[in-house]
Every structure is written in C-alpha cells, then in structure tokens.
Chains A and B, each alone.
Chain A
Amino acid sequence: MNSEQRAIKRRRSGPRFLGHFLCATFVVIAAALLGVVIEHSAIAQTIAPHSYDSLETQLLFRGGRPYVKDVVTVDGHRSITIRPIPLAKGAHREAGRALKAGPSQSPFDPSSLPELMRNLAAVTAVALVVAGLDRVRRLVTRRRRMLGMPAEP
C-alpha cells in the first residue's frame, strides 16, 4: 500500500467508524427492545415463569444513607426487607439536595476486593473450560478428518 492509498484509507476511516458506531447503537437499542419483548412474551413465561407484580421496591434514605426496601408478596404473605446500598464519595451531593449529608464511604471498598477477585476468577475459569472443550472439539474434528470420516458427526 503506497502513501496515497494510506492517506485515502485514513480519510475514510473516520466517517466509516462513525457509520458503524451509529449502526451499532441502532442494533443495541433494537436488541434491548427485543429483549424486553421476549421477556414479556408467553414463550419466556413458559420456559421460566416469573412475575414482578408481587415485588415492590422503594429507595429510602435514612440519616443520609440509601436503603432498598423490598416488599415481596408470596401467597398472600407480605415480607419486607430493608438492605443498605453502599454509597460512594460525592453521592450525597448528587443524589439530591433534599437529603441530609451523612458519612460517605470510600469510592472503592477494599474489603470487597476478594469478592471482585472471586468474580473475575470465576469468569476466567468458565472461559478456560469453554476454551478447553473447544480445543477437544477441534482435536476430534482433526482426527476424524485424518481417518477420512466427515468432520461433523
């Protein structure tokens, strides 16, 4: 590729990226809408019956700290749970001026670092298992080809 071709490619890469970005945005929005439609569909209810009617949540602020209040109704019995939401530095200001400022936590809570590591390790482990299975599949396919059998059973 000579310098002129490279210059043309460079000139075209910006609008091309923008075009692809717009397409990707459209696809993501369409995917979200499709997902919600599927989630509401009778097929989804058949595969995994679910209802959100019995669940009510409410965001509460007490002493400047946010809490989630879950009200779950199962067979006519109501159960209420209130759980705190960890709030990062600066959130009080942004969450609303009506709130009274309380003690703010560090943006990153080091005590949750093992949990983060566990999550990343779990993803890596599953990825390695999938990669291993894929490798086995490749080896089997290659062996079948060597034996003159069709690659896919």
Chain B
Amino acid sequence: MVSLRSRVDLVFDLVLFLSFGIAYTFDFTGLTIHEWFGLAFGVALLTHLTLHWDWVIETTRRMFSRVGRRRITWAINVLLLIDMAICVASGIAISAVAMPALGIHTAPDSGYWRELHTRTASVAIVLIAVHIGLDYRWIASVSRRWLGRAKT
C-alpha cells in the first residue's frame, strides 16, 4: 500500500524533473516561457523543500553522528540547494520579460549574472542526476508498489 503522501511526492518530483529538463532546453521554450517556467520552478523547488522539511531537519541533526552514505546524500543536497538557489536568483536578476512584466526592474545586460545563471544551470543538471540516483531505491520502491496495486 502506497500512502497518498508518497504518491504526491513521487508525482511532484517527476514534474520537477521534467520541468527542469524543459527549462534547461532554452531553444525548446524560447525566452518568455523559459522565464515564467523558471519562476514557477523556483516556487515548486520551495514546495519540494517544504514537503521534505522534516527529513532536512532530521538528517542535518544526525549528520555528524552518521557515517558514509547519509553524509554524501546530505552534502549533495546542500550543494544542489545552493546551486539551484543561485540559478533561480540569477535568472530573476537577468529576466528580460517575466520580472519587467511584474513591474520589477532587472539587469538583463549583466554579464556577471548571465554567466552565473548558465554555469549554475549546467552544474544543477549533473547534481540533479546524482540526487535522483541516490534516491533511486525510494523511487523504485514507491513506483513498484503503486503500479503493483494499480494492477490488482
């Protein structure tokens, strides 16, 4: 039996993964959709962190007493958090369409923020892959149980 919470988490994580893939492929979306998508992704990222807040607190508290894998997972997640935060923040800073449409002035000509946005996005795609890989057992377990239940 898969709990509703696990199902919500799985679907939400899948949506996040696809969203990042779409936002990352700039030529596919074009500038306007890329920017709105990026903003929505930032909010979804916050929601993802909120949904797993208990895990974050628990793991951070036990970080120094645990060994090996948990520490690696924690370190990867922290790196991903910092990287994604910079990626979204720099994206907001260079926004040429979405933020001006909301009445917020940005610096679309800034080479610094543009470069930072591109670099952090490239790092994020690798860290996301590692993040998914480290949580593969949970993904496989929930998917298997859910699909198994759906068959009966």
Contact = CB atoms under 8 A, between A and B. Distances in A.
Interface of A: 17, 20-21, 23-25, 27-29, 31-32, 34-36, 38-39, 52, 55-59, 66, 68, 70, 85-91, 94-96, 105, 107-109, 112-113, 115-116, 119-120, 122-131, 133-134, 137, 152
Interface in B27-76: 27-34, 45-47, 49-50, 53, 67-69
A128 B132 CA distance: 8
A20 B55 CA distance: 12
Contacts, number: 170
Interface string B113-140: 0111000100001101110111011000
Contact of A131 (B21, B26, B116, B136): B136
A108 B69 contact: no
Given A32-B85, A129-B133, A87 B31 contact: yes
Contacts of A59: 96, 108-109
16 contacts: A24-B49, A28-B85, A34-B82, A35-B83, A35-B120, A39-B86, A39-B116, A86-B26, A89-B30, A119-B25, A123-B17, A123-B129, A128-B136, A130-B132, A130-B133, A133-B133
Contacts of B30: 85-89, 91, 105, 107-109
B45 A20 contact: no
B32 A152 contact: no
Contacts of B68: 152
Given A28-B46, A39-B86, A116-B22, A95 B97 contact: yes
B11 to A, nearest CB: 17
Contacts of B137: 131, 134
Given A31-B78, A32-B89, A88-B30, 16 more contacts: A21-B47, A27-B49, A28-B49, A34-B82, A39-B86, A86-B30, A88-B32, A89-B32, A91-B32, A91-B97, A95-B100, A96-B100, A123-B21, A123-B132, A126-B129, A131-B136
B147 interface: no
A69 B126 CA distance: 28
B45 A28 contact: yes
